[in-house]
Amino acid sequence: MSIVLGRGPRTDSELYELVKALWGHTIPRHKVCPEHNAPFEAFAHGYFNRAPQILIKGSRGLSGKSRLVSLLGLTYAAVHGADTNIVGGSLNQSVNIQETIRDAFNFERAPRYLIRDESQTAVRLVNGAVIRPLTASQKTVRGPHPPMLLLDEIDEMDVEILESAKGQPMPQKNYRGEIIPAQTIMSSTLQYSDKAMAQELARFDLEGLPVFEWCYRDTANPIDGWLDPGFVEQKRREVSAERWRVEYDLGEPSIGNRAFDASAVEETFSLPAATLKQKDGKEWQEYRFEDPKNDREYVIGADWAQAVDWTVISVVDVTYFPVKVVHWTRMRRHPYPVMVGVFNKLMKAYNAEGIHDATGLGAVVSDYIDRRARGFIMAGRARDDMLSEYVSSVENGRWRAPKIREFYLAHLYCSTEQLFNRGKEFHLPDEVCSMALVWRSISKRAIPAIPVVLGGNNDPSWIEDEMRFNRDAKRKPGNWVVGGVENKSKEIASELDLMV
């Protein structure tokens, strides 16, 4: 017999019992690992819309992430009457979502009377809500604009598709006339060190957004867990130890040979992220951290690109060590005169010494770039030396920079293959290249030093003779003695071009 919904749940406890009653599923409210969250915390956070964005990190296959987001979408649509899109990172994930929805509605107490129409692509409810299980493609993610978007296994999604999908959620008025706010909930196992999940974890950390994390131990908890511990041991025997460490025990993904020591990268990008954003768009990001100062010295470096890669321009205060990034720009798909114009404007504003990557683009930018900027050809031994010296400078604590997500991640996940391999499958991160160019300019600059008197014989120089004679002479104030002859100081100064 189906349950007839009256009012919606008002507390976490009511929501917990409603999910069990409607769909026959238990979302664990208890945990085993002290540093983790109970899965129901994330479920309640999403249902009661306690944050506009939520990120869930869980074990592969054993944490119930796909089931949780599917049940959340169902409950949200059934009670709130709000459209819900559930996007799977792969075809298998999309199939799992559809099966979970079908099984939930087949439960003996499920509110099947709410179903107005059901197909492979959508479930339409009598309260006006539409539940759409979707696959991750540019075509599907640019579809309707529901208030609730659930993205499952985002680490399997192309980053561009994920960014497009984020544009879906928009507020919606439900059948009761209530405005349902827009919300995005993402979940995944962290499998790769440089793809969508790693980037989202870094962004959520920078923006202070909620991240919920749990593993198979929490879903197998003895109080309200649903996972069989015996199955856990079976699965452990089926996979490699390294895969178990990363995908099941939620360890840090290995990325081969990191170019930079991770702790050194953390120390480098230790300045606050708060900044004056001049531009912050999809194709143009510009941040100013400090205005130009007359008592500072600056170097500006640029790595040029246009269509696929990024043009990155970094302005660095090099007055003292550690040197400090004071302005950072990243842009693409803009004409070269526009991008070079930004470089020239910053170079003038900061009265900076300039250096840029002239490899293959000398003829393109030569007519536009400030003539004082030096071009560097990134080829052969010179290129490798520049990059090696830059890595060394980072690991020796010579830099400080604000923790901009793209800037920071480009260094954290950069590999030695990306730095030194010439193959087409490897690409030197543009953010790293711009900074390496700046370091080359810094390392080649003349360093001020105290004058050193070179040793010689004991014979006095003519300057010493004149100084000794003037010291011993009994001359009147204001006069100058040259070669033993006393003269008016202004007359002698005029002859010798001296200032008295």
Residues 82 and 154 in one domain: yes
Domain boundary among 221, 248, 275: 248
- Residues 452-458: contacts with CB within 8 Å, 24+ apart? none
Residues 374 and 322 in one domain: yes
Q: Where are the beta strands (DSSP E) in 35-182?
A: 53-58, 84-88, 115-118, 123-125, 130-135, 148-152, 172-173, 179-180
pLDDT for res 493: 45
Residues 36 and 170 in one domain: yes
Collect all residues with Cβ–Cβ distance below 8 Å to 306 and sequence separation of at least 6. 332, 333, 334, 336, 339
Residues 103 and 163 in one domain: yes
Residues 386 and 415 in one domain: yes
Model confidence pLDDT, tens digit, residues 62-76:
999 999 999 999 999
Residues 349 and 491 in one domain: no
Instruction: Return the CATH number at 398.
Output: 3.30.420.240
Residues 51 and 196 in one domain: yes
Residue 244 vs residues 188, 232, 236, 238: alpha-carbon distances, Å: 15, 11, 7, 9
- Average model confidence (pLDDT) for the chain? 85
Model confidence pLDDT, tens digit, residues 330-359:
998 888 899 999 999 999 999 999 999 988
Q: The pTM is what?
A: 0.62
Residue 317 belongs to some domain of the structure: yes
The residue behind tokens 């959340």 is 72
Residues 438 and 491 in one domain: no
Residues 478 and 412 in one domain: no
Q: How far apart are CA 297 and CA 105, in angstroms?
A: 68
pLDDT for res 498: 42
302 touches 312 (CB < 8 A): yes
Q: Judge whether residue 278 has pLDDT over 90.
A: no
Domain around 68: 12-248
Instruction: Return the CATH number at 116.
Output: 3.40.50.300
Percent of the chain with pLDDT over 90: 51
Per-residue pLDDT, averaged over 284-292, amounts to: 92
Q: Judge whether residue 484 has pLDDT over 80.
A: no
Residue 254 identity:
S
Domain boundary among 248, 282, 310: 248
Local confidence band at 210 (pLDDT 50, 70, 90 cut-offs): very high
pLDDT for res 130: 93
Q: State the helix-helix crossing angle for 405-412 and 430-443, rounded to 10 degrees.
A: 80
Q: State how many domains the chain has.
A: 3
Q: What angle do CA 334, 335, 338 make, to 5 degrees?
A: 90
Q: How far apart are CA 149 and CA 168, in angstroms?
A: 7
Per-residue pLDDT, averaged over 287-295, amounts to: 94
